[in-house]
Amino acid sequence: MGKDRMNVDPAKIPWDALRTLIGQSVFGGKIDNEFDNKILASLVNQFFRPESFGIDFPLFTVPPDSSEPVLKVPDVKNHKAFLQWINELPKTESPCWAGLPMNVEKLVRERQTNALLKGMKVLQGTGEDLVGEDDKDSNWLTKLLERLEKFIKGLPSQLQLLYRTASAITNPLFRFLEREVTVAAMLLDTVRSDLLLLRELCKGERKSTNSLK
C-alpha cells in the first residue's frame, strides 16, 4: 500500500478493507458474543478512519455537561514520542476513556450492595422489605424442596444397560447404542445424587457446601 514510502495519504488507505480485516479476522473471529461484536465494531469504526490522522483527533467523547478534558492524539512524529506521551498520561484513568459515565464507580458499588443484601436475605430466608419479584417469597427453600421432590419422583431410579452377547458386540449400531446408554446411565446417577443432596439441604439434614452452591 505504501510502496516503501515514509508517508501515505490517509484518503488512499483502504479503510473498509482494514476495518473488515480487524473486525472479522484479527479479533472478530475470536468473539462469539453478539454484544461484544457490536462493541468491537464501534471501536473499529471510531479509530480506523481518515480523521484519526488529524492533529487533536479526540479519542473519546465526553458528555456535554462534563468538565473532563478530552484525550486527543498528540502532535508527534515517531514511535518514541508516542511512547513518551503514553507514559505521561495520568496514572488514574477516567471512566470517559472507556465510554463510561463519570459516576460508573458509584453505580457499581450500588449494584454490589444490592447483590450483598439479596444474598443475606437468601441466607436468612427473610427480607420482605427488599423490592423485587424474586425477593417477595421468603419460603424459597420450601418451594425448592417441592420442585426437587417432583424431579426425583419423575426420574427413574436407574437406567438398564443393554445386554451384551458375543454376536451383539460385532454390530456397530449395538456398540454405539451401548456407549450412549452407558453415558446416559452415568449422567442419571449424577443428577439423582445431586438432587438428593439438595433435598437433604432443604430439609436441614445437610450443611451447605461449595459444590451444593
Give me the CATH number covering residue 55.
1.10.8.720
Q: Who wins on pLDDT, 145 or 123? A: 145
> Does residue 34 form part of some domain?
yes
| Closest of 67, 88, 66, 64 to residue 76, by C-alpha | 88
CA neighbor of 184 nearest in space, from 161, 167, 211, 204? 161
Residue 9, C-alpha cell as written in the block: 495519504
Q: Are residues 205 and 143 in the same domain?
A: yes
Domain with 52, as residue range(s), is 10-98
Q: In the chain, how many domains are there?
A: 2
**Grid cell at residue 144:** 425448592
User: Which pLDDT does position 189 carry in this prediction?
Assistant: 92
* Confidence category of residue 184, pLDDT binned at 50, 70, 90: very high
Closest by alpha carbon to 15, among 46, 40, 38? 46
Residues of the chain above pLDDT 70, percent: 84
Please give the pLDDT value at position 117.
Answer: 81
* pTM score, whole prediction: 0.42
C-alpha closest to that of 39 among 53, 23, 57:
23
Q: Would the pLDDT of 7 be above 80?
A: no
126 in a domain, yes or no? Answer: no
Which amino acid, one-letter code, is at 188? Answer: L
Q: Is residue 103 part of a domain?
A: no
